[in-house]
Amino acid sequence: MALAQVEVGPGILTLQRANELLSTCVPGSFLIRVSERIKGYVLSYVSKDGCKHFLIDASTDSYSFLGADQLQHASLAELVEYHKEEPITSLGKELLLYPCGQQEQPPDYQELFE
């Protein structure tokens, strides 16, 4: 199965703006944005209870959610593909179903981490 290209959301978004963009989306919708707190990204997700935000560590040569014993992925695309089938948390059962706010041309934020 080919990996889908994952695009980081429309520009550098604040938490408030991500919540606004996702406010009209259905549960299972998500976007990925550059984190303002860590070297990495934030996956903002719409659940039936509202928006959730998961930090993605990109400080090494892999991508994983912050926390103990998290599965490492070679790319953001692999992380998203994996969580289309496997929930982010066992309690929340978050599956990544609908990308939200994606752009046609993927932005390159690598210079932010140099």
Cα–Cα distance for residue pair 70/81, rounded to 1 Å: 16
Residue numbers of the domain that contains 65: 15-101
Give per-residue pLDDT as tens, 4-56: 445 555 456 788 888 888 999 999 999 998 887 777 899 999 999 999 999 99
Count: domains in the chain: 1
9: in domain: no
The answer to the question of residue 91 being in a domain is yes
Q: Is residue 3 part of a domain?
A: no
Chain segment 55-101, per-residue pLDDT in tens: 999 888 899 999 878 899 999 999 999 999 999 998 989 999 999 86
CATH number (domain holding residue 47):
3.30.505.10
